[in-house]
Amino acid sequence: MLTLPIPQVKARMTSQSIVVIDDDVITLELIVVALEQQLGAHVHSFTHSKLARAFLLKQSDASVSLVVSDQMMPDYDGIALLNLCRRQGMQVPFLLLTADATRATVLKARQSGANQFMVKPFKVENLLDNVRKLLAS
């Protein structure tokens, strides 16, 4: 009996669960569509940081692969959400987005444990490249 090897099919990132938080609906939708269509990721999206915070309080490294968050938002900013994740013991990669790329903001993000920092506006392909790198690390 002859058995042929089964070809390996490159798996899409369907097992990746990504949380995206941005109070700008258009930016949020752009990110969500790119992550779902280009990477096959499962995305939990939030336009309200309070709802995102409540969701993150119930998560762990086992349930979330990556967090992508805007910095400047009402109620809780991105660094506050990052600090919440770290206080919970979550070491999930955290990508912070901001239009306010001051030196102080970048330093505070790094000190809080942000893995990557991107300035708005950004190219979707650059965002996807950063997400791929963070998920691979």
Secondary structure string (H, E, C) spanning 80-104: HHHHHHHHCCCCCCEEEEECCCCHH
Q: How far is Cα 129 from Cα 39, in angstroms, rounded to an integer?
A: 10
Residue 7 in any domain: the answer is no
Residue 1 in any domain: the answer is no
Residue 34 in any domain: the answer is yes
What percentage of residues in the chain have a pLDDT greater than 70? 90
Strand segments (E) across the chain? 17-21, 42-46, 66-70, 94-98, 116-119
Residue 110 in any domain: the answer is yes
> What are the tokens at 107?
């330093």
pLDDT confidence of residue 80: 98
Residue 11 in any domain: the answer is no
> What are the tokens at 13?
């990132």
Amino acid at 136: A
Q: State residue 118 phi and psi, 5-degree precision.
A: -125, 140
Mean pLDDT per block of 10 residues along the chain (137 residues) reads: 39 73 97 97 98 98 97 97 96 95 90 94 97 95
Q: Which residue range forms the structural domain that includes residue 61?
A: 17-136
pLDDT 10s digits, 79-108: 999 999 999 999 999 999 999 888 999 899
Residue 4 in any domain: the answer is no
Residue 104 in any domain: the answer is yes
pTM here is: 0.88
pLDDT confidence of residue 2: 43
Q: Domain total for the chain?
A: 1
CB atoms within 10 A of CB 127: 20
116-119, strands of its sheet edge to edge: 42-46, 17-21, 66-70, 94-98, 116-119
Strand partners, 97: 70, 118
Give the CATH number, domain containing residue 40. 3.40.50.2300
pLDDT confidence of residue 95: 98
pLDDT confidence of residue 101: 82
Lookup result for tokens 């119930």: 58
Q: How far is Cα 42 from Cα 16, in angstroms, rounded to an integer?
A: 6
Residue 53 in any domain: the answer is yes
